[in-house]
Structures are given as structure tokens and as C-alpha cells.
């Protein structure tokens, strides 16, 4: 019979320094009797720093080793506080960094995304190695699991898509026997591997998704994401002063909100859990006794208004060069390219002579897409926009949100959701005119 297992995910903020790591260990102490799979992110802002290493290496500007050395120093400093000056964990962590140094000693790879994944993965590898060594040292025995041995993806680097059949099979073969052993399992979020054993990543902030993959494959009893907020809030508290915690949320509601920018959970996380009715808890690592938010099949009949803001949007207004209508065959051509470029479309609208797409402005994807269609279409790009999604809206809230903004697209979906693509009203300044005599 399968063991009952819980899956925990700890993000970068919960592991950012020795105090934070000790706090996580404190939380784990109270789950000593449970079977846990613990998925960890890279510590603090390590992934951002590693992205800088990749950029520097690609630009051959000679800074890559310097930035990597800073990252190493930060990790060794954390280790010194956790382990003292000597521990076998140092060699293990060093080995992981050495693999990155080998990549940096080579010429930059022509496939940037491939190179990115081979370098950036070290963040999760070292954080999980440090966590494993520390928890074991303080009497919380853990087994270290390489997530790449379990999660198989396609070979789209930086956005690996999970190959579910094989991943489930591997979980059964590799993880289930580990669960029969005493102690927790510690593994990495964010990373997987291709059939050729190249490391892939699942997209930024993808560790939540990793935890959901493990939960699905292991039929977890429940999954918990430990955050620095008390649970899922009705809005981003840094932007809205009256954001409040939601105690319960249906999967459907959670999918809608996270897809459109509620940053609390990675959007791909919910579906695997929903498919197996695995409850998802979002709890605070600062106040672990707090109730958090429970996301499950249960449907609440009344929700307060919930607001998600997604900055960094670009609106593409596409029209035919000969001013003919945008017809079916155009749309089918455009949609094929949207898929090829993996543009994440948040809103679209079609009129007789133009077709508008609002997408996340990631790297230079929108420019490359525009260049590709420029022989057939005229494309206008409007950047720096914000997508506002309001569920269970009230008119006065919408009016408030529109204040000081120009609304470029707006859509109401049933009577529950309003979406708007907005930009700030440019500040008008009076011209300095000569004074009349």
C-alpha cells in the first residue's frame, strides 16, 4: 500500500539566511511523524543572480566568474553559521558549483536557453544540499533526491513541459521506495531533465509547480506552500492597503486568479492538484500556527472582490497591410505563430480591420513575433501596460482602479470578472508661454 505523504514547498524567502533556515527546521520538527517530500527553491534571490551569470557569460564581458564567486561566498557564509568551519557538506556544495564553472570555462553555447538551464539549476541544487545536510545534522534525518531523476520534460529549455506518463512511472520506481525509508525527502523545485539527461527548468517561480507534480504522482494527502504572507490575499498588500486573507478558495477561483497575475502561487500548480482533489494549503512560515488559506473542491458562494495586477504587458495591434478585413485564415496563421513563439495571451479582441493581442512582455518575444508577421501585417506595439483582473467586482472598485489610467481594452466575462489593459495617463504640462505685455 502507498504511504500517506504530504508535500511541502519552501520558497527562496523562507531559506534566505541562517535564521530563516533554522525557522524552517523549527516548522519541520512538528511534522516529525509524517512522511514529507520537501521541495525547496534557491535561497533568497539566487536565481536572479544566476541569471546575471548567464547574461555575463553570453556577453563574454568577463564578469561571469565574479558574479558566481559572490553567489558562492553568500552560500558559504550561510553554511558557516549552520555548520561551523568544517563539514562534509562543503565538498558536496562545492562540487555543484564546479559544474557551473566548467560551463563557464567553455565558449557560450549558441542556444541561450539551454545554457541558462545548465547554469541556473545550481541554485536549487545547492539549497537542497544545504537543507538536507542541516536538517540531518540537527536530528531531522532526510534523504536527498535529485528532482531531475524523476521529472522528465520535453527539450524546450527554460519552459520544459512535463512528460507525465514517464514522470509518474519514475516517481513510482524512485520515490515510493524512498518513502518506505525513515526520514523526510528533500528535493529541488524548478528543475527537470530531458531524455538525454540535460537539465531543464519549468519557468520562473516554478517550484510550486514541482511540488504539485510530486503531489500528483505520489497521491499526496495534501500540499502546503509556505509563504511570507498569511495565505492568499484578495489583492497585493504592497499595492492595496485593505487586502484581506481568504480562508477558503475553490480550485477554479485559484486558477483564474493565479493565471492573471496573483503572484501567490505559480499558475500551473493548481490543475494537477484539482485533478486528484488534493487540498492545497497556503500558510505563513512566519506564523506557522496560522490557519492560512485552503484551496480545494469546496465552492464558496460569496467571495469578496479579488484583484490581480499583472504588469509588463504589451499590446499588439495587428492589421492587414492592404486594409482588408482580418479574416479566418489570418487568425489561424497568427494563432499558429502564437503557439510557435509560446506567447502567453492574456486578452484578445477582434474588430473588422484589426486584431489585438495582449501578451506578457517576456524577453524580445513580441518583437520577434512582430518581425515575423511584418510582411503580411502592420503591427503596432504598445508596451509598459498593466493587466487588471477583478473577480467578483463592484462598480465603485472598478472606477477606482480606472482612475488616472487609459483603458485600452476591457472585457466583462459573465457577471464575475472584468479584465482591463491599462496605461497611465501621461502627465500634461502647461507650455511656458510668453507673458503678454
Give the three cell numbers for residue 174: 524512485
Contact 357, 318 (CB under 8 A): yes
Q: Is 123 in the site for ligand ASP (CB under 6 A)?
A: yes
Q: Is 11 in the site for ligand ASP (CB under 6 A)?
A: yes
What are the start-end ranges of the H helices in 84-121? 89-105, 112-120
Q: Among the candidate windows 147-155, 204-212, 334-342, 364-372, which touches ligand ASP by CB under 6 A?
A: 204-212
Q: Which one among 14, 41, 128, 224 touches ligand ASP, defined by CB under 6 A? A: 41
Q: Is 207 in the site for ligand ASP (CB under 6 A)?
A: yes
* Least distance to ligand ASP, CB of residue 209, Å: 8
* Least distance to ligand ASP, CB of residue 45, Å: 8
Output the CA angle 44-50-52, nearest 5 degrees: 120
Q: Is 192 in the site for ligand ASP (CB under 6 A)?
A: no
* Least distance to ligand ASP, CB of residue 4, Å: 26
Q: Which of 417, 5, 400 is nearest to 220 (CA)?
A: 5
Beta strands in 177-305 (DSSP E): 184-188, 191-193, 199-201, 222-227, 248-250, 280-284, 293-296
**Quick one: 41 or 319, whose CB is closer to ligand ASP?**
41
Q: How far apart are CA 214 and CA 121, in angstroms?
A: 18
**Quick one: 14 or 419, whose CB is closer to ligand ASP?**
14
Count the Cβ atoms, other than its own, within 10 Å of residue 391. Answer: 21
φ and ψ at residue 182, rounded to 5 degrees:
-70, 155
Q: Is 44 in the site for ligand ASP (CB under 6 A)?
A: no
Q: Which of 174, 258, 154 is nearest to 217 (CA)?
A: 174
**Quick one: 150 or 179, whose CB is closer to ligand ASP?**
150
**Quick one: 23 or 41, whose CB is closer to ligand ASP?**
41
Of residues 360-389, those binding ligand ASP (CB under 6 A): none
* Least distance to ligand ASP, CB of residue 11, Å: 5
Longest dimension (CA), the chain: 96
Q: Which one among 44, 189, 192, 231 touches ligand ASP, defined by CB under 6 A? A: 189
Q: Among the candidate windows 203-211, 216-224, 313-321, 372-380, which touches ligand ASP by CB under 6 A?
A: 203-211
Q: Is 253 in the site for ligand ASP (CB under 6 A)?
A: no
Q: How far apart are CA 366 and CA 341, in angstroms?
A: 9
CA distances from 359 to 277, 320, 338, 348 (A): 31, 20, 10, 9
* Least distance to ligand ASP, CB of residue 159, Å: 12
Output the CA angle 211-276-192, nearest 5 degrees: 30
Q: Is 160 in the site for ligand ASP (CB under 6 A)?
A: no
* Least distance to ligand ASP, CB of residue 203, Å: 8
Q: Which of 65, 61, 77 is nearest to 19 (CA)?
A: 77
Q: Is 47 in the site for ligand ASP (CB under 6 A)?
A: yes
Q: Is 295 in the site for ligand ASP (CB under 6 A)?
A: no
Q: Is 12 in the site for ligand ASP (CB under 6 A)?
A: yes
Binding site residues, ligand ASP, CB under 6 A = 11-12, 41-42, 47, 123, 189-190, 204-207
Amino acid at each position: 500500500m502507498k504511504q500517506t505523504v504530504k508535500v511541502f514547498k519552501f520558497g527562496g524567502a523562507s531559506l534566505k539566511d541562517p535564521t530563516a533556515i533554522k525557522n524552517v527546521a523549527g516548522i519541520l520538527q512538528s511534522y516529525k511523524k509524517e512522511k514529507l517530500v520537501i521541495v525547496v527553491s534557491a535561497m533568497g534571490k539566487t536565481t536572479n543572480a544566476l541569471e546575471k551569470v548567464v547574461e555575463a557569460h553570453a556577453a563574454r564581458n568577463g564578469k561571469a566568474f565574479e558574479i558566481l564567486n559572490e553567489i558562492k561566498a553568500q552560500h558559504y557564509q550561510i553554511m558557516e553559521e549552520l555548520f561551523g568551519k568544517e563539514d562534509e557538506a562543503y565538498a558536496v556544495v562545492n562540487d555543484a558549483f564546479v559544474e557551473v564553472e566548467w560551463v563557464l570555462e567553455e565558449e557560450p553555447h549558441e542556444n541561450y536557453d539551454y545554457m541558462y538551464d545548465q547554469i541556473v539549476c545550481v541554485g536549487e541544487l545547492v539549497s537542497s544540499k544545504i537543507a538536507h545536510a542541516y536538517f540531518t545534522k540537527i536530528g531531522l534525518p532526510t534523504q536527498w533526491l535529485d528532482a531531475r531523476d524523476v521529472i522528465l520534460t520535453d527539450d524546450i529549455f527554460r519552459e520544459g513541459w512535463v512528460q507525465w506518463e514517464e514522470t509518474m512511472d519514475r516517481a513510482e520506481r524512485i520515490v515510493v521506495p524512498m518513502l518506505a525509508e525513515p526520514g523526510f525527502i528533500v528535493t529541488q523545485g524548478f528543475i527537470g531533465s530531458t531524455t538525454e539527461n540535460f537539465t531543464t527548468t519549468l519557468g520562473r517561480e516554478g517550484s510550486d509547480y514541482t511540488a504539485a507534480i510530486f503531489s500528483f504522482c505520489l497521491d499526496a494527502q495534501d500540499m502546503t506552500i509556505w509563504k511570507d504572507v498569511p495565505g492568499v490575499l484578495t489583492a497585493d498588500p504592497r499595492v492595496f492597503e485593505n487586502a484581506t486573507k481568504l480562508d477558503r478558495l475553490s480550485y477554479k477561483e485559484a486558477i483564474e486568479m493565479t493565471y492573471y497575475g496573483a503572484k501567490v502561487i505559480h499558475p500551473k500548480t493548481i490543475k494537477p492538484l484539482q485533478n486528484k482533489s488534493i487540498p492545497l494549503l497556503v500558510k505563513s512560515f512566519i506564523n506557522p500556527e496560522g490557519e492560512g488559506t485552503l484551496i480545494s473542491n469546496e465552492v464558496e458562494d460569496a467571495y469578496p472582490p479579488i484583484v490581480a495586477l499583472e504588469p509588463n504587458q504589451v499590446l499588439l495591434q495587428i492589421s492587414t497591410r492592404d486594409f482588408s478585413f482580418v479574416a479566418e485564415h489570418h487568425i489561424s496563421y497568427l494563432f499558429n505563430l502564437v503557439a510557435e513563439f509560446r506567447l502567453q495571451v492574456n486578452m484578445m479582441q477582434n474588430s473588422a480591420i484589426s486584431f489585438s493581442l495582449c501578451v506578457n512582455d517576456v524577453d524580445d518575444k513580441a518583437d520577434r513575433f512582430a518581425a515575423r508577421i511584418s510582411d503580411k501585417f502592420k503591427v503596432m506595439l504598445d508596451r509598459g501596460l498593466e493587466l487588471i483582473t477583478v473577480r467578483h467586482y463592484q462598480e465603485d472598485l472598478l472606477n477606482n482602479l480606472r482612475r488616472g489610467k487609459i483603458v485600452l481594452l476591457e472585457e466583462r466575462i459573465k457577471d464575475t470578472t472584468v479584465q482591463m489593459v491599462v496605461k497611465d495617463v501621461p502627465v500634461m504640462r502647461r507650455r511656458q508661454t510668453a507673458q503678454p505685455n
